[in-house]
Structure formats: structure tokens, C-alpha cells
């Protein structure tokens, strides 16, 4: 583990202009430098580097970060690799963290386990790749799917032979427990061992650092299962990983879009045909973790599904997963291809241009959501419209507050012939009811996971008042766990990012531009910030500055926890900050803001005392103390 203090010292010694300038031709543009963005194609420069803030930002594709972030995005290096590369350029040696011996021992053990898993997986990968060359049927299968040797090599495709213990030829200790832990070997109850993957084309699965963490295997003849993944291991969890994200990371940034398809062969087949920005889930429905990783790569996501009922069910599940993560700058769309086509076959028949046209015309999430809800009910009669509202309310409640939610609610209200105020009232009532039901359910659990809920199913899977029951969909639902609507809504609330009040946003922008202001804050002022729920993020930022000593935008973003609310807010403000001029007197604005915050806090406390009646001497004395303090702050404010 690299100490945070070292990261901050490194960022204080390297110059982001020098780092970026090795790869991008920069020219002066006011206080900043401009150049053509290396992460997407453009003719006019929108890529900006700030020497004072030690930060880069592209106003075209949104790429941004510090010198470390630039190396990671441009070269595909891991965080540790980028740090070591930069450290070598300024003569610094990367140290170990100053933690306790026990903590260092645990960290060393984890690294040892990860390295051990990586070593056996890499060794197995070399074996599978070598086997592919010696197995003509597998090579012929790949050629029949239109794949060339170059694409097979780029994605590291291999072959697992039919032999039960093929890996014994490369692992001298076939009985090594690590082979089972890494998911390469299965041990039966009687102790006998055999290879997990046999008679399959092998697809190595890499994480976003490029590290090999598991495999997927596909049979080339008849048999089940068609696809087989590595099991859950210390380094692999299929609910968190995306096949092709590492290989396609540069194309995703260049296109500023990712296409989510259904299988490994779809990803590799599309790459062969020139569409390199595709990824696939690993035999699971799309999870929130999948979406968060995609959002870090791009703000435009297109899900590609078959147009049949199964495809629309999968799309509906993906939509529900996406709802709590929506933002006004995030585009999620759904592409439903004609029957009998997957992306690979569609391009081969109609061409890449036709496929890209389909992508461009893909259905927006809001349209898919509203159309699905509308199709389930007869909107030409009051009963159908009220049933539609009943179903829609808990689903619409999952969308985070913002312009998109207002647009969706307005359009839905129009479809069901309600005013927006009426819809808002129904949603508020439903939320209160759901909270009461949730409390009752927690006291006496009554929900059965075997009972599907009508609200959670897509139109293609439900019977409606004007359509007969869907027999196929009832079979498809077997075994799927249903979740009560109020539990879905509760989970979505916990996933949402904190809303940022205008005052907090203004203060964070000021502190981002002038982090040195945070050093001047004492305990009393921090208490004032903590006393205002809208300013908790401001206090977190101040503590971050004081704890790390970070002195510019790039260093601050590296210091913040990337999964925290604060990091998300700071990232959103960074682009605005790059376009702003520095204030002539930031100290004065900061002090004025703190005085106003304290004044508001004192007035609220004073009003609370009045409400309580000032019934004792202590309350009266506190009221008088507050009045003096308010008068003092007011006098200072008028003097300014």
C-alpha cells in the first residue's frame, strides 16, 4: 500500500503540464494550456491543462484528473504503476505505508494471495493459448465465426483440452489447494480432482487494471452449459466484472459510448467488425456495480438485447438497476435487434453503418420506461390509468432528483391525465405507506421470495386487463426472486448521492480553487459547518485538506475516496472550476460566507429557544449570549 503522504508529495513535485506534454501538443490559452484531446477524436481543442490547479479536463468527452490519472487513462497503467512511473521521473522511491506491523502483515498476505492467484491464472492462460494452436477444430470454429488470428491474439483466446487433468502438464503439484481456490480445478467429494474447463474455447477475463482474474469457456459443439465462468474467488466476482472492458477501454473513451451485449462472442465478434467499444456481463443480470464501472468510463450506455420477450425482460431488469444511478448528464438507451439477429450477425448482413444507425436510434430509458408502463394498462379508461399510476409510483420514485426526473414525471402525468401536483401527492402518499409497510414487515416478515410482484415485471411478462396471460413468461419467471416495491425504493435511496445545496456548491468551488483557506478553520468553525446538514460535505472537504495537506485540485481528487459522495461532487465541480477566473479576494469571500453561516446558525438556535418558551434562567442567558453574538456578526457584516 502506497502511503497517502507519498502520493501528495509526488503530486507536489511533478508537473501535470510536463506529463501531459509528452503525449499531447499543448499551446498557451490564457492561464491554461490547450490541446487536442487524446481520449476522443476532435478537430478543435477542448482539452485543457491547468498549471495552477495541476489538473486536466476535456470539455468534449469529460476526461479529467491529475498527472497520475492521465497516465492511468492514457497508457492503461494501474494506479501503482502510474505512481511508480511518475516517481522514477523525479527521483523518488515509493515507500511502504507507515502502518502497524499487523496491518502491514495482513496487507502483505493479501498481496501474496492475489499474486499467487495471478501467477496460476497467468500460467493457465499460457497453457490454453498454446493448446489453441494445436487444436484445429477450435481454430476452425473461431474462423467460422469470422475471427482472425489478430483478434484472437488481442483478446488472448485459448483452448482447454478435453483431458480431465490437462493442467497437470503445467502444474507440477496438481494437488495444490491454490488451483481449487483459483477456480481452475474442481475437487469432488471423494477427493478426486479434474479441470474445471474442458473442451472449451477460453476467454480470459481481466479487471480494469488489466489483471487476469478469471476465465470464461464456451463449448464449440452441442452440450450444456454453453458458457462456463470461473467461480467466485478472492480476485473474481462475476457480479462486479465486465468482459471486454479492459480491452475496449480506449475505444469506449474515443467513441464516448459503451455497448453492453450478452456474451463473450458478441464482444469479440464486434471487435472483429470494427466495433470495439462493447462489453458483456458474465452470465448475470446487469448489477449496480457493473453500471458504476461503466459510468466511470463514459456517460453514454447502450444495452443491446434480443427483441423477443426474454430480451425485453432482461432490458426491464437492467432499467430497474439503472434507475437509482441516473443523472442528468447520463444517457442510457436500449437497442432491440430484429428477431434472429445478434449484433455480430446484424453487422455481417447489413453492415457497420446500419448497426451504428440502430445504435443512434436506440430507445431512451425514459421512453422505454413510460412505454412499458403504458402498454400494461388501458389508458383510455379511469380504471386502467389508476392501475398504471399504482404500478408506476414506486418505480418512478427510484429516479434521483434532477431535471430528468421532472421531465419523466411531467410526461407520465400527462399520459395518465393527472396534473403534476396530483401525481406528486400520490407519490408522497405511497412513500408514507411504503415506509409503514416496511416497518411492519421488519417486525413480522411476511413476504415470500417465491411470489413474483406485478410491479417488478416488464409488460411482455405480465397479463393485463386487455391481454391474455403470457404462458411463456410465467415459466420464465420460475425461480426468480421478487423484491417488494418498498424494499427496492429503500435500497435506491441508500444508493443515491447526496444532493448539494447551492451554498455548499459555492463554498466547495471556492475551496477547490483555494485549498489553503481550509487550513485556517478551527474547531468552532467546523462545528458551525457540522450544525448545517447542507454543509456536511464542506466539512468533509476541509478535514480532507487538513489531513492530507493537498494544495491543488489534482492532488485533492487523488486524496478523496473515489466512491465517496465528496469525490463525486468534486469531480462534477472540476470542469466548472477549469473554466472560471480566479477571484481577486477569495479570503474575503470565504470569511464573509463563514460569518453568514454562523449567523444563520445562531438565529436558528435563538428561534428554537423562543419556541421552547425561555422557561428557565439558563435559556434566558443563552438567548442573551446569542443576541450579543448576532449583533457582533451583523456589525462586522455591515462594516464590510
> What string of DSSP letters covers 433-483?
HHHHHHHHHHHS----TTS--GGGS-GGGS-BTTB---HHHHHHTTTPPP-
Contact by Cβ (8 Å): 420, 410: yes
Write down the pLDDT at residue 469.
Answer: 36
Q: What is the 3-state secondary structure (H, E, C) of 244-304?
A: CCCCCHHHHHHHCCEEEECCHHHHHHHHHCCCCCEEECCCCCCCHHHHHHHHHHCCEEEEE
The 3-state DSSP class for residue 227 equals strand
Question: The sheet that has 55-58: what strands, in order across it?
Answer: 27-29, 32-35, 47-50, 55-58, 64-65
467 strand-pairing partners: 464
Describe the crossing of helices 343-350 and 352-360 by its angle, rounded to 10 degrees.
120
Q: Distance between CA 131 and CA 166 in Å, rounded?
A: 10
Contact by Cβ (8 Å): 335, 303: yes
Give the DSSP letter string of 551-568.
-SHHHHHHHS-TTSHHHH
Contact by Cβ (8 Å): 100, 187: no
φ, ψ of residue 505 to 5 degrees: the values are -65, -40
Of 341, 217, 238, whose CA–CA distance to 289 is shortest?
238
What share of residues in the chain are helix, strand, coil (percent, to 5)? 55, 10, 35
Residue 134, Cα to own-chain centre: how many angstroms? Answer: 41
Write down the pLDDT at residue 48.
Answer: 92
For residue 349, CA distances in Å to 144, 342, 516 come to 15, 11, 61
Please give the average pLDDT of every successive group of 10 residues along the chain, which has 640 residues. 83 92 89 89 88 89 88 80 88 72 68 84 97 95 94 96 96 94 93 95 91 94 90 91 92 91 93 95 91 89 90 93 93 93 90 93 97 94 95 94 95 96 90 67 45 45 39 34 34 45 80 79 69 77 81 81 79 75 68 77 82 82 83 63
> What is the DSSP secondary structure assignment for residue 32, as one 8-state letter?
E
Ranges of beta strands (E only) in 119-219 are 158-160, 185-187, 193-195, 200-206, 212-219
Write down the pLDDT at residue 100.
Answer: 64
For residue 332, CA distances in Å to 339, 362, 629 come to 22, 9, 52
> For residue 325, how many other CB atoms are within 10 A of its CB?
20
> What is the DSSP secondary structure assignment for residue 153, as one 8-state letter?
H
Write down the pLDDT at residue 155.
Answer: 96
Write down the pLDDT at residue 488.
Answer: 35
Contact by Cβ (8 Å): 275, 244: no
What grid cell was written down for 91? 527521483
What grid cell was written down for 145? 465465426
Write down the pLDDT at residue 638.
Answer: 53
φ, ψ of residue 157 to 5 degrees: the values are -65, 150
> For residue 177, how many other CB atoms are within 10 A of its CB?
10
HSE (side-chain half, CA atoms, 13 Å) at 204: 26
Instruction: Calculate the dihedral angle through the C-alpha atoms of 583, 587, 589, 591, rounding to the nearest 10 degrees.
Output: 170
Question: The sheet that has 300-306: what strands, in order across it?
Answer: 278-280, 258-261, 300-306, 331-337, 363-364
For residue 285, CA distances in Å to 66, 221, 288, 422, 458 come to 34, 25, 10, 35, 15
Of 604, 608, 599, whose CA–CA distance to 637 is shortest?
599
Q: Is the peptide bond before 70 cis (omega within 30 degrees of 0)?
A: no
For residue 236, CA distances in Å to 72, 266, 423 come to 22, 21, 44
Residues 6+ apart with CB under 8 A from 629: 602
Q: Distance between CA 444 and CA 437 in Å, rounded?
A: 10
Residue 189, Cα to own-chain centre: how many angstroms? Answer: 40
Contact by Cβ (8 Å): 65, 77: no
Instruction: Write down the residue that cell numbers 479570503 correspond to.
Output: 587
Contact by Cβ (8 Å): 356, 326: no
Of 133, 243, 121, 96, whose CA–CA distance to 182 is shortest?
121
Burial code (b: 16+ CB inside 10 Å, e: under 16) for 22-58 equals eebebeeeeebbbbbbbbbeeeebbbbbbeebbbbbb
Of 134, 182, 189, whose CA–CA distance to 158 is shortest?
134
> What is the DSSP secondary structure assignment for residue 583, as one 8-state letter?
P
Contact by Cβ (8 Å): 534, 569: no
> What is the DSSP secondary structure assignment for residue 188, as one 8-state letter?
-
pTM over 0.95, yes/no? no
Amino acid at each position: 500500500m502506497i502511503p497517502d503522504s507519498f502520493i501528495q508529495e509526488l503530486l507536489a513535485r511533478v508537473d501535470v503540464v510536463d506529463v501531459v506534454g509528452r503525449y499531447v501538443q499543448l499551446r498557451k490559452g490564457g492561464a491554461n494550456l490547450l490541446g487536442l484531446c487524446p481520449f476522443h477524436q476532435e478537430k478543435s481543442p477542448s482539452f485543457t491543462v491547468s498549471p495552477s490547479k495541476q489538473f486536466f479536463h476535456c470539455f468534449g468527452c469529460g476526461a479529467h484528473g491529475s498527472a497520475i490519472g492521465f497516465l492511468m487513462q492514457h497508457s492503461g497503467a494501474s494506479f501503482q504503476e502510474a505512481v511508480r512511473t511518475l516517481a522514477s521521473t523525479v527521483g523518488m522511491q515509493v515507500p511502504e505505508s507507515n502502518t502497524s506491523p499487523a496491518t502491514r502483515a495482513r496487507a502483505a498476505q493479501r498481496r501474496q494471495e492475489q499474486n499467487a492467484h495471478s501467477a496460476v491464472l497467468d500460467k493457465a492462460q499460457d497453457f490454453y493459448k498454446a493448446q489453441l494452436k494445436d487444436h484445429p477444430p477450435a481454430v476452425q470454429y473461431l474462423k467460422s465465426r469470422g475471427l482472425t488470428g489478430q483478434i484472437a491474439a488481442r483478446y488472448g483466446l485459448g483452448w482447454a483440452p478435453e483431458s480431465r487433468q490437462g493442467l497437470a502438464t503445467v502444474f507440477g503439484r496438481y494437488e495444490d489447494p491454490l488451483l481449487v481456490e483459483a477456480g481452475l480445478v474442481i475437487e469432488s467429494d471423494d477427493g478426486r480432482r479434474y479441470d474445471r474447463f474442458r473442451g472449451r474455447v477460453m476467454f480470459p477475463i481481466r479487471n480494469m487494471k488489466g489483471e487476469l482474474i478469471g476465465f470464461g469457456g464456451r463449448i464449440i459443439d452441442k452440450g450444456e452449459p454453453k458458457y462456463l465462468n470461473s467461480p467466485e474467488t478472492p480476485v473474481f466476482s462475476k457480479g462486479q466484472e465486465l468482459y471486454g472492458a479492459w480491452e475496449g477501454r480506449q475505444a469506449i473513451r474515443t467513441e464516448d459510448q459503451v455497448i453492453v451485449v450478452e456474451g463473450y462472442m458478441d464482444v469479440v465478434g464486434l471487435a472483429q467488425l470494427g466495433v470495439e467499444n462493447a462489453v458483456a456481463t458474465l452470465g448475470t443480470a446487469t448489477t449496480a456495480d457493473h453500471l458504476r464501472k461503466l459510468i466511470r468510463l463514459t456517460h453514454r450506455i447502450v444495452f443491446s438485447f434480443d427483441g423477443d420477450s426474454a430480451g425485453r425482460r432482461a432490458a426491464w431488469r437492467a432499467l430497474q438497476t439503472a434507475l437509482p444511478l441516473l443523472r442528468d448528464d447520463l444517457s442510457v438507451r436500449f437497442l432491440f435487434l430484429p428477431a434472429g439477429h445478434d449484433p455480430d450477425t446484424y453487422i455481417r448482413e447489413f453492415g457497420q453503418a446500419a448497426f451504428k444507425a440502430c445504435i443512434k436510434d436506440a430507445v431512451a430509458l425514459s421512453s422505454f420506461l413510460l412505454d412499458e408502463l403504458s402498454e400494461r394498462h388501458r389508458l383510455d379508461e379511469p380504471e386502467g390509468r389508476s392501475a398504471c399510476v399504482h404500478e408506476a409510483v414506486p418505480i418512478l420514485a427510484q429516479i434521483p432528483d434532477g431535471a430528468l426526473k421532472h421531465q419523466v414525471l411531467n410526461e407520465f402525468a400527462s399520459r395518465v391525465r393527472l396534473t403534476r401536483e396530483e401525481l406528486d401527492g400520490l407519490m408522497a402518499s405511497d412513500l408514507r405507506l411504503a415506509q409503514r409497510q416496511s416497518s411492519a414487515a421488519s417486525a413480522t416478515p411476511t413476504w415470500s421470495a417465491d411470489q413474483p410482484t406485478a410491479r417488478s415485471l416488464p409488460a411482455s411478462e405480465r397479463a393485463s386487463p386487455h391481454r391474455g396471460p403470457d404462458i411463456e413468461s410465467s415459466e420464465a419467471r420460475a425461480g426468480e426472486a421478487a423484491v417488494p416495491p418498498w424494499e427496492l425504493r429503500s435500497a435506491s435511496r441508500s444508493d443515491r448521492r447526496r444532493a448539494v445545496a447551492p451554498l455548499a456548491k459555492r463554498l466547495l468551488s471556492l475551496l477547490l480553487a483555494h485549498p489553503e483557506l481550509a487550513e485556517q478553520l478551527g474547531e468552532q468553525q467546523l462545528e458551525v459547518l457540522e450544525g448545517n446538514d447542507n454543509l456536511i460535505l464542506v466539512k468533509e472537504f476541509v478535514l480532507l485538506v487538513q489531513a492530507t495537506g493537498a494544495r491543488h485540485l489534482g492532488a485533492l481528487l487523488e486524496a478523496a475516496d473515489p466512491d465517496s459522495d465528496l469525490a463525486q461532487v468534486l469531480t462534477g465541480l472540476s470542469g466548472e472550476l477549469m473554466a472560471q477566473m480566479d477571484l481577486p479576494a477569495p479570503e474575503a469571500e470565504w470569511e464573509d460566507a463563514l460569518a453568514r453561516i454562523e449567523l444563520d446558525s445562531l438565529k436558528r438556535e435563538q428561534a428554537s429557544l423562543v419556541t421552547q418558551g425561555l422557561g428557565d434562567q439558563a435559556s434566558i442567558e443563552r438567548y442573551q449570549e446569542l443576541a450579543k453574538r448576532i449583533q457582533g456578526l451583523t456589525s462586522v457584516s455591515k462594516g464590510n
